Structure 1
């Protein structure tokens, strides 16, 4: 894992030297832009529209357009000097409750690992945050970009989530076509609550999958093997005008799905309890008798295990 940043977490007069690592990664399937005729990747060039020449990186500066067509420019070193005062410090300003922060403020999360000289202070901060159930709100600058940050514990590891400033959050007044608040029908509200209760569950991130990515990978494999890519037919959605009918249909669908899952879960538990670990191609028929002794039952079970052949599990690519 590559180090993104080195510096220190500070609160009061305490400094905790840390290294920063990205806690997440982009799992998108990379695609290149190709010329359709030749299947060759397209190249991009940095071209000046005035002289029509390609521009090298050492000839490029950053600029701010204060009027149309008028810029003030900054060299890379100038921007580094402006950021240098806080670029190596995550300065905690306040400690707050996590529940007070709306998720709209969060950007990207990083793990913080201690430098060798800062292990004691690192462990102290971790334990203090766990004991108080607080998170730190800090200022940080990474790659000349200043942002707020939430310092909290994730699975026993000190982490930092960059955040937007309040002025970066667009006010709701800018959202067009928001519906006016009207009195909700009590029957519809009760049905909506029932539907939410039916779909309520504990958050288990492992059970959510990127379905588009799976379909795309299957399509890529089919194309590599020269197979025709087959697409699932689009579902025809009917325009349900009556909201109550839509709620009732959703509730029924949710109950049916819940019942099916519970049935499958119950069957799998029964099978798991009755079957050995290895899968069998056939089940030996045995006559059950309430009068049979425990020793006879054990012998029958042992014999059925010996007779059954495990089925070789097919592995997918």
Structure 2
């Protein structure tokens, strides 16, 4: 992995030198846009609508639109005057319980690796956080951008999650949150809880895969080798479920059958198809 950032974790009076690596990657299949007639790649140019010509990067400035069509220009000198010291440290501010941090705050994940000389302090911080069950809330500057972060332990490695500031989380107040609780029947709630209980298991990420991406790869590979691509006929749309209780009962029954595959109807031998538990 390529080192993204080098600095230190500031833990009280202790500085732990670390290297930062991006912990995740997007594996979406990307396409290039081509001209249908000649298969030439489509280019995207920097075009000034006012001058009606292509411009270079040196001619471009940052502009903030404070009114429609009116901009205030911000240049590099303006940015340098902002009193923000890039200390190259991840400054731990507080320790909190992970359950108190709603997942909506998490943005991107990074691995933190100890640099030479910081191994013992790195291990000490991991052990202390593991014993207390706490995560650290910190502040860090990455590429001139200051952000909040949460440091947590996974597989004896420090992981830093950049997190949004509170004013960056949109309010759900304008959303439709459904009917009032008083309009639900007790039996409906019991059935829903029973369905969740039957579908509950330990989280195992290896059980899940991107089925669309897999099918898309198969399509691409078949076209490369010149095979004929079979297209399945569209399935009929399902109607709206009117009876919530009946839908819940059917779901609970199906979940129970999947959880207990050994139960067979009378007159049939055991050893039929078992529930698939792998990915």
Q: Smaller-chain TM-score range? A: 0.7 to 0.9
Between 1:85-94 and 1:183-192, the stretch displaced more is 85-94
CA distance in 2, matches of 1:165, 1:24: 21
Equivalent residue of 1:173, what SS? Answer: coil
2:216 — aligned with what?
Answer: 216
2:121 — aligned with what?
Answer: 121
The normalised TM-score by structure 2 is: 0.87
Do the aligned partners of residues 87 and 218 (structure 1) sit closer, same or farther apart at CA in structure 2, a change above 3 Å counting?
farther
Over the residues paired in the alignment, what is the CA RMSD in angstroms?
Answer: 2.3
1:252 — aligned with what?
Answer: 253
1:39 — aligned with what?
Answer: 39
1:159 — aligned with what?
Answer: 159
Structure 1: runs of 5+ lacking an equivalent = 269-317
Between 1:21-30 and 1:48-57, the stretch displaced more is 48-57
Between 1:107-116 and 1:246-255, the stretch displaced more is 246-255
Is 1:19–1:114's contact at 8 Å kept on the other side of the alignment?
A: yes
Compare the two structures and name the one with the higher helix fraction: 1
Q: Deviations over 1:206-260 (max 9, x none)?
A: 1101000111011111111222322334443232211111111212222233334
Higher relative CO (CA 8 A, sep ≥ 6), structure 1 or 2? 2
Is 1:87–1:142's contact at 8 Å kept on the other side of the alignment?
A: no
Equivalent residue of 1:126, what SS? Answer: helix
User: What is the CA-CA distance between 1:71 and the residue it aligns to?
Assistant: 2.0
Equivalent residue of 2:260, what SS? Answer: helix
Q: Deviations over 1:49-91 (max 9, x none)?
A: 1222222223222222222222222234643664851461211
Is 1:61–1:76's contact at 8 Å kept on the other side of the alignment?
A: no
Counterparts of residues 1-317 of structure 1 (less than 5 Å)? 1-76=1-76, 78-79=78-79, 82=82, 85-86=85-86, 88-175=88-175, 177-183=176-182, 184-236=184-236, 237-260=238-261
Is 2:97–2:134's contact at 8 Å kept on the other side of the alignment?
A: yes
CA distance in 1, matches of 2:140, 2:196: 39
The normalised TM-score by structure 1 is: 0.77
User: What is the CA-CA distance between 1:27 and the residue it aligns to?
Assistant: 0.9
CA distance in 2, matches of 1:126, 1:46: 48
Length, aligned pairs only: 265
Do the aligned partners of residues 78 and 118 (structure 1) sit closer, same or farther apart at CA in structure 2, a change above 3 Å counting?
farther
Do the aligned partners of residues 51 and 186 (structure 1) sit closer, same or farther apart at CA in structure 2, a change above 3 Å counting?
same
Structure 1 runs of 4+ aligned residues shifted over 6 Å read none
Is 2:262–2:271's contact at 8 Å kept on the other side of the alignment?
A: no
Do the aligned partners of residues 77 and 213 (structure 1) sit closer, same or farther apart at CA in structure 2, a change above 3 Å counting?
farther
User: What is the CA-CA distance between 1:182 and the residue it aligns to?
Assistant: 3.1
